[in-house]
Amino acid sequence: MSKPTKIMFVCLGNICRSPMAEVVFKDMLNKKGLKGYTVSSSATSYDEIYKNIGNPIYPPAEKELNKHGLTGGDKRACKLTIKDYPNYDLFVCMDSNNVRDAIEIFNGDKDSKVKTLLSFAGSDKSVRDPYFTNRFDIAYNDIVIGCQALLDYLV
């Protein structure tokens, strides 16, 4: 089986953790000069999507990215759907609830495409959700660890 090249990061609302992971991972690929990857992110809920328009990255998440010379740009929350399953090789979730919800959205995971980000780093822990704790630095560090391990896995 070939290594995945189409990767979608997944969290609950797609305004904090998964877009941060998308930005961090794209930056890592770019710095390594790796081409041919499709990287995106989505939400398991409609919490941050109103009238089919997703909210932008949560300002404190964008501020954390900016501290590291990164930006989410015009990224807006979007919803994970069953139609995404055949179009991506890997769905990288921020926590076990996201895994459960993604598998429910997909009506199963027959190809074992749904994983947690930190599983690539050999951990069963979640990327800690900064939305209520305001610890975007901790989430960012978790994401960097997971994304580096994912990159190592891919190359």
* Domain assignments of the chain as residue spans, ordered by start: 6-154
Per CATH, the number for 6-154 is 3.40.50.2300
Question: Exposed, middle or buried by CB within 10 Å (0-12, 13-18, 19+), for 23?
Answer: buried
pLDDT tens digits for range 112-136 = 999 999 999 999 999 999 988 999 9
Q: Output DSSP code: residue 79.
A: B
Cβ atoms of 106 and 83 closer than 8 Å: no
> CA–CA separation, 138 vs 152, rounded Å?
21
| 78, 129, 142, 147: the active-site residue | 129
| 17, 93, 95, 142: the active-site residue | 17
pTM of the model: 0.96
Bridge-based pairing of strands 38-43 and 49-50 is unpaired
Query: Which pLDDT belongs to residue 90?
Result: 98
Q: Beginning with the edge strand found earlier in the chain, give each strand of the sheet holding 38-43 in spatial order.
A: 38-43, 6-11, 90-93, 114-116
The CA angle 74-80-83, to the nearest 5 degrees, is 115
Q: Is the Cα torsion angle 5, 68, 16, 119 positive or negative in sign?
A: positive
Catalytic site includes residue 76? no
| 11, 16, 78, 147: the active-site residue | 11
Catalytic site includes residue 11? yes
Catalytic site includes residue 16? no
Query: Which pLDDT belongs to residue 38?
Result: 97
pLDDT tens digits for range 32-72 = 999 999 999 999 999 999 999 999 999 999 999 999 999 99
pLDDT tens digits for range 72-99 = 999 999 999 999 999 999 999 999 999 9
**Per-residue tokens: 14:** 């797609």
Residue 42, SS3 per DSSP? strand
